[in-house]
Amino acid sequence: MLDRFAREVAKFPDGGRASAVMACLAIVQHEQGFVAMADEDSIAAYLGMPTIAVHEVSTFYNMYNTQAVGKFKLNVKFRSISRQVAPLSSWNRRQRPHDLHQAL
């Protein structure tokens, strides 16, 4: 796995090792099915960055599984309530931006 990490890191300029964090997470997940905390520690050590920075990336993007998942993974996206209440097309554009809540 480290040789694959090295190939990904080589794609970035000097000092840009941390930019390969997403690629390294993808490699681990492809090989193991998910990214465990121990894997995040290993990636952080390899890239020379704080473990919390790797954890922030792995939990921000829903493409990384931080625990074992079943055969299917369902992602549900909710629409913003503000867009349901008052779409921008119905908002009077001549009003000042801070009056938006009054327009709603």
- Read off the CATH number of the domain in which 76 is found: 1.10.10.1590
Mean pLDDT of all residues in 75-81: 70
Amino acid letter, 32:
Q
Tell me: the pLDDT tens digits for 36-77?
Answer: 999 999 999 999 999 999 999 999 988 898 888 888 877 777
Helix axes 2-9, 21-32, angle to 10 degrees: 150
Q: How many domains does the chain have?
A: 1
Mean pLDDT of all residues in 23-41: 93
Check whether 88 has a pLDDT greater than 90. no
Mean pLDDT of all residues in 74-103: 58
Residue 49: closest CA among 71, 78, 22, 79? 22
Residue-range definition of the domain harbouring residue 55: 2-103
Check whether 22 has a pLDDT greater than 90. yes
What pTM value is reported for the model?
0.68
